[in-house]
Amino acid sequence: MSVGLLYALAGAALVAIGLAGLLLLPQLLRKILAFNILGSGAFLILVGLGQRDGGIDPVPQAMVLTGIVVAIAATALALALARQLLDLSGRMRLPEDGPDAGAADD
């Protein structure tokens, strides 16, 4: 098994962990962390699978750098919103209602 493939498989495992966390954890901060784990997994797959013929391919590395910047921006926005929600409602979690519940209330 090549090193690249090993990285990619580790990335896939991270993606699975992140996805589970994002969907299952109720706490907002954990959801945001889970999103970051998911993103790191995707980056690892991108770099791992992107190695061609044993050499290092710079293109996926450049993509991952861009992706990290995007992920930081998204995390910052998520944290700012979570903080605002904490100030407004005193809780760090999304209200537990079904997809179409709460449609009629405010």
Which chain residues interact with other proteins by CB under 8 A?
A: 8, 11, 15, 18-19, 22, 28, 31, 35, 38-39, 42, 45-46, 48-50, 52, 57, 59-60, 63, 66-67, 70, 73-74, 77-78, 81-82, 84-85, 88-89, 94-95, 99-100, 102-104, 106
Instruction: Specify whether the CB–CB gap between 22 and 38 falls below 8 A.
Output: yes
Amino acid in the structure at residue 4: G
Smallest separation, CB 89 to other proteins (Å):
5
Smallest separation, CB 10 to other proteins (Å):
13
Smallest separation, CB 74 to other proteins (Å):
6
CA 86, distance to chain mean position in Å, is 21
Joined together, the tokens standing for residue 11 give 């990335």
Distances (CA, A) of 3 to 16, 20, 56: 20, 26, 12
